[in-house]
Amino acid sequence: MKNHLHTPGRKIDLSRLDAAGTGRFKGGKKAAQPEMPALTERLVSLQELLYAQSRHRILVVLQAMDTGGKDGVIRRVFSPLNPQGVRVTSFKVPTAMELSRDFLWRVHKVVPGNGEIAVFNRSHYEDVLVVRVRNLAPPEIWSKRYAQINDFERLLAESGTTILKFFLHIDLDEQKKRLQARLDNPAKHWKFRLGDLDDRKLWTDYMRAYEDVLEKTSTKYAPWYVIPANRKWYRDLAIAEILVETLEGLNMDFPKSEENLDGVVIE
């Protein structure tokens, strides 16, 4: 899945990227179906290693436009894992207490500890996305935050945190279908906000803001992956595969017992 990695510093035009892409699976979902169960099984095993060794930390950042699939990824990719070692944080509108502090204060409190995978459903990047597009702060404030975010993520990385950032890339037509599906299903009305339609009108501004995020904050220590997300099955498979490759690269082993177990007999 290296083809989804955004090279640090490279310019990007999201309108030229195929949000409906399926990578090597030219045969579509049917061709990919055998792979996901094996990936999930491997991911479960690797998370057990991560939790048992309690040495490494994994931070997963999920960003997307409305209906992009953040909840779906959490449900399909992370729900099979041991909940003792996975923590999901959803970043909503800041509280009064959070607004009285620097914008990274509420984020730093919930970064992963040893042996943990922390998943951010939205993240500190909202402060250079919605804050920028909605004019919630002047440019002289939010424009400084790219460097501040890079410094913050460098601190985490140098302290032992592996950072993976995923932008779930859908197109305008796919978003329309998903919003309409929510509107048509009373059981999904709780997920529909009229504000989503306001953000939809600002699509071009959001894409420009995302392009700046990708260009300015994809680094070797905290890379961005642009995941084609129109096809939910491919979105989930791509993220699962990147997670497996990343965890395998940590070369983890189960810790040895601190006690001598030679000759122990259970009667």
The reported pLDDT for the residue numbered 243 is 98
The reported pLDDT for the residue numbered 1 is 64
H or E stretch covering 161: strand 161-169
Cα(255)–Cα(250) distance, rounded to whole angstroms? Answer: 14
The reported pLDDT for the residue numbered 255 is 87
Give, for all 267 residues of the chain, the pLDDT tens digit. Answer: 678 999 998 999 999 999 999 999 988 888 898 899 999 999 999 999 999 999 999 999 999 999 999 999 999 999 999 999 999 999 999 999 999 999 999 999 999 999 999 999 999 999 999 999 999 999 999 999 999 999 999 999 999 999 999 999 999 999 999 999 999 999 999 999 898 899 999 999 999 999 999 999 999 999 999 999 999 999 999 999 999 999 999 999 998 876 777 777 888
If you search the block for the tokens 């004019």, which residue do you land on? 135
**1.10.10.10, 3.30.70.20, 3.20.20.330, 3.40.50.300: CATH of 2-248:** 3.40.50.300
H or E stretch covering 109: none
Are the C-beta atoms of residues 232 and 28 closer than 8 Å to each other?
no
CA nearest neighbour of 127 among 191, 4, 217, 37: 217
Strand 117-121 and strand 86-90: the pairing is parallel
Give CA 18 to chain center in angstroms: 19
